Structure 1
Amino acid sequence: MMITRRGFIKAGGLTLLGAGLGGVPTFIARAAGSDKIIAPYKRNKILVCIFQRGAMDGLMAVTPFTDIYLKAARPTLSMSAVKNNGIEPLIDLDGRFGLHPSLRAFESLYRDNRMAIVHGMGSPNTTRSHFDAQDYMESGTPFNKNTSSGWLNRAIGLTGHDASPFQAVSITSSMPRVLYGEHGALAIKDLKDFTVQLKGNPAAATTAARSFEELYDQTSSALLKETSKESFDAVKILQKADVQKYTPANNVQYPASELGNALKQIAQLIKMDVGLEVAFAESGGWDTHFAQGTHNGTFARQARDLSNSIAAFWNDVEVYHDDVTVMTMTEFGRTVKQNGTGGTDHGRASCSFIIGNNVQGGKVYGTVNPLATENLEDGRDLAVTTDFRSVFSEVAATHLRITNKRELFPEWNGPITGIMRP
């Protein structure tokens, strides 16, 4: 039976999550407890990607508040940059664009020129299906459903040097599409669970562990053995670190959310010097079809968690600022016009936030034309004026020092946006 790395990792990947066995098998824990602990890896550049699943309303996140057409299209959802009756206004960035007040944690990063915003960004594929749009964005080939690898997996394969088991890590319950491929990657829901031994019936645990070990020893697939070795090596590294007693730097308090917890763990891996180069996390809940709200509501809650989580992470990894770049992405945006239930429906373009010392920040990049009907895509949506590949390829290639952009995004040969310092 043929078995591929992608199929094996997607199916559970031995020790990646400990799923179904209540934790990491005891034979792996025994190996991890041996004296053969892997030494720290050299310090690398690290790209942290955050996928905002559900399609963030870019027009509410970064609002062209002087646009009269937007105000008309959103009678109860439009917001002002002028304080009125004690209501917190948009944060005026440049006289035209205003940051949603729930994203206030981003303001200092923008003012310090460490955060760039790319507006009007999206996919050239016009699908409004969450599943398809996410798949295209994660594969990096928006017109090819048959691409087997994700663009971040291709990125780690193009770094051109030996990698640690922690070169690419997703703090998620399963491997994301963007990390599918032939190069090693780990999906870890929680670092603490990664080193927990089997619990419950001792006899059953021993049997399960023995069967697992026999599977590893007897397999005729070199690829399966290689994937298993990556998992073993990863456990060895984590066994040496007391991940349960991690204390963030600078008295940082992360939000008690899925994203906050994921970024906290990514910060741990960065400080452990385990060879991390690509990290991935997710932020859900952006599908605001109804009760979207303005200063309060669904959008405001998600925006507050996003910005507070990223700001906490950035402050926590302060001594690594020269090495870390953070980039957000979302599959598409929302309609310009609000719907009848106080929300917005599936649209086209949205925006991305890119943070780092090597980012040419303090600027809103991209083109957002006046939101008159004749300027809208299909007469209803913010038009895609910046292909997501122009942003992703520039950020990844510049930060991770990848020279082969054509292999990173095989169907893309367009211009860059200029958001990264050469």
Structure 2
Amino acid sequence: MPQLPSVTRRAFMKGGAMAVVGASAIPSFLTRSVLAQATTAQAQGKKLVVIFQRGAADGLSIVVPYREKSYYDLRPSINIPQNQVIDLDGFFGLHPAMQPLKPLWDQGHLAMVHACGSPDPSRSHFDAQDFMESGTPGSKITPDGWLNRALAAEDAARRTHKDSAFRAVALGPQIPRTLQGKIPAVAVGNVRDFSVGGQNPAATPIASSFESMYGDSVNSVLHGTGAETFEAVKMLKATDPAKYVPAAGASYPGGAFGNSMKQIAQLLKANLGVEAAFADIGGWDTHQNQGNVNGQLAGRLKEFSQSISAFWTDMGDQAESITLVTMSEFGRTIQQNGTGGTDHGHANVMFVLGGSVQGGKVYGKWPGMEKSQLFEERDLAITTDFRQVLGEASYKTLGAQNLEVVFPGAGLQNSRFLNLLKA
């Protein structure tokens, strides 16, 4: 690749679609590196975005089995009335606060997997989240996260090039359990302000000579797990995040999750070499005053749906190369409690969105809601292991073909995928 000139103020790198605004030139060694990494990542094409709904979302009032009489009998004050459910297939329907996602369903980009979750019966938020993020239900000694292992499995299968420092990125103050492992990852607290977090004990310090040479152009430190931390700061600086304008029609809601999704879109569109991105949204632990069409749950779902819909719109044509999956540690009890809420349950629902998703369908075997069909006579039973969904996403999006590496002991086989994604 021929040497590129230094990129100066208001320059534009067409190949990387990266606007660069700065008071001083960016070194040519950096522009060469960024372009090389972006080109390689772009050639591979696909990207995986993972969303964790922390607190145990109530899947039964998110994707409502509105033809189930038991749903209404056991939830007299918090059910979603049939006439207000957004019908999907004549049996299931969306909570009315999720209207922004209906067009994506109609277009065939959005699918759900119901009665899905972890086979471990724990009702502890801490343990259940750990099991799902490690990808090893029941084991507390797994040292790394499933998404990090998926990237490692991809490496073993087909990668030979030098990685971007932004190959794996999380929006938040620290690197989540999901992305911990041998593949370098970075945690970005706020792209706009260059406020970055997630110091890892194993992180390599920024080279002091480079820091002193270009220190004026760095507002704060980006903490990651790899040796390219300094380069990551410069790459992030080059995207000029303060000037980012979402695509026409992409209206992100206020709040932390909307901001996270906007920043993921920004990082993806800047062609920084991102292959895996992670964000989370809390507030799903609705033990009291859950509400129905309106209320606590509805508020969470409105932000959740608007943020994902805006992200999809913002990505434009690039959305075709993205797979987005959602997960939550467990569902909630079928029966409402005495304080107008629900307690810790078992099976839940996962969303899968993307250009290669075979959407417009609710996947999974429905177990039923009669007492004899329930898990421990109180919860929706699991008929699809969450690793089936994440395994297919890892295999078909990241190219992680060795699923035993990604989810050890799960016995996943591509011949038994739900076929949520086109090959």
Q: Report the TM-score, using the length of structure 1 for normalisation.
A: 0.83
Residues 3-402 of structure 1 mapped to structure 2, 5 A cutoff: 34-37=27-30, 38-40=33-35, 41-42=38-39, 43=42, 44-82=45-83, 89-160=84-155, 161=159, 162=161, 163-194=163-194, 213=208, 227=225, 229-402=227-400
Does structure 2 retain, via aligned residues, the 8 Å contact 1:49–1:281? yes
In the superposition, relative to structure 1, how do residues 211 and 232 fare at CA in structure 2: closer, same or farther (>3 Å)?
closer
1:384-406 deviation per Cα after TM superposition (whole angstroms, max 9, x unaligned):
11100011000111111221111
Question: Relative CO higher for 1 or 2, CA cutoff 8 Å, sep ≥ 6?
Answer: 1
Output the CA distance in 2 between the equivalents of 1:96 and 1:305.
Answer: 25
Does structure 2 retain, via aligned residues, the 8 Å contact 1:116–1:363? yes
Q: CA deviation at 1:226?
A: 9.9
In the superposition, relative to structure 1, how do residues 349 and 241 fare at CA in structure 2: closer, same or farther (>3 Å)?
same
In the superposition, relative to structure 1, how do residues 183 and 334 fare at CA in structure 2: closer, same or farther (>3 Å)?
same
Which amino acid is the alignment partner of residue 82 of structure 2?
A
In the superposition, relative to structure 1, how do residues 327 and 250 fare at CA in structure 2: closer, same or farther (>3 Å)?
same
Q: CA deviation at 1:249?
A: 0.8
Output the CA distance in 1 between the equivalents of 2:316 and 2:24.
Answer: 34
Q: CA deviation at 1:143?
A: 2.2
Q: CA deviation at 1:31?
A: 12
Does structure 2 retain, via aligned residues, the 8 Å contact 1:32–1:235? no
Of 378, 381, 403, which residue of structure 1 is paired with 2:401?
Answer: 403
Does structure 2 retain, via aligned residues, the 8 Å contact 1:115–1:356? yes
1:174-199 deviation per Cα after TM superposition (whole angstroms, max 9, x unaligned):
11000110110001111133379xxx
Which amino acid is the alignment partner of residue 361 of structure 2?
K
Does structure 2 retain, via aligned residues, the 8 Å contact 1:263–1:310? yes
Output the CA distance in 1 between the equivalents of 2:290 and 2:343.
Answer: 10
Which amino acid is the alignment partner of residue 101 of structure 1?
P
Does structure 2 retain, via aligned residues, the 8 Å contact 1:336–1:381? yes
In the superposition, relative to structure 1, how do residues 411 and 228 fare at CA in structure 2: closer, same or farther (>3 Å)?
closer
Q: CA deviation at 1:80?
A: 2.3
Q: CA deviation at 1:229?
A: 2.9
Q: CA deviation at 1:357?
A: 1.4
Does structure 1 retain, via aligned residues, the 8 Å contact 2:116–2:383? yes
SS of alignment partner, residue 317 of structure 1 = helix
Which amino acid is the alignment partner of residue 192 of structure 2?
K
Q: Percent identity, please.
A: 44
1:212-253 deviation per Cα after TM superposition (whole angstroms, max 9, x unaligned):
839x99xxxxxxx99463211101212222110100112422
Long gaps (5+) in structure 2: 1-21, 197-204, 213-222
- Further displaced range: 284-293 or 153-162: 153-162
Q: CA deviation at 1:313?
A: 0.3
Does structure 1 retain, via aligned residues, the 8 Å contact 2:320–2:354? yes
Q: CA deviation at 1:168?
A: 0.3
Does structure 2 retain, via aligned residues, the 8 Å contact 1:69–1:370? no
- Further displaced range: 94-103 or 187-196: 187-196
Partner of 1:18: none
Does structure 2 retain, via aligned residues, the 8 Å contact 1:156–1:167? no
Output the CA distance in 2 between the equivalents of 1:249 and 1:137.
Answer: 33
Q: Report the TM-score, using the length of structure 2 for normalisation.
A: 0.83
Q: CA deviation at 1:370?
A: 2.5
1:244-301 deviation per Cα after TM superposition (whole angstroms, max 9, x unaligned):
0100112422111111101111111111111100000011100000100011111000
Output the CA distance in 2 between the equivalents of 1:408 and 1:228.
Answer: 21
SS of alignment partner, residue 336 of structure 1 = coil
1:101-147 deviation per Cα after TM superposition (whole angstroms, max 9, x unaligned):
00111111111111010000010100000000000000000022111
Output the CA distance in 2 between the equivalents of 1:31 and 1:56.
Answer: 48
1:147-205 deviation per Cα after TM superposition (whole angstroms, max 9, x unaligned):
10101111111222232100000001111000110110001111133379xxxxxxxxx
SS of alignment partner, residue 260 of structure 2 = helix
- Further displaced range: 104-113 or 338-347: 104-113
In the superposition, relative to structure 1, how do residues 183 and 228 fare at CA in structure 2: closer, same or farther (>3 Å)?
closer
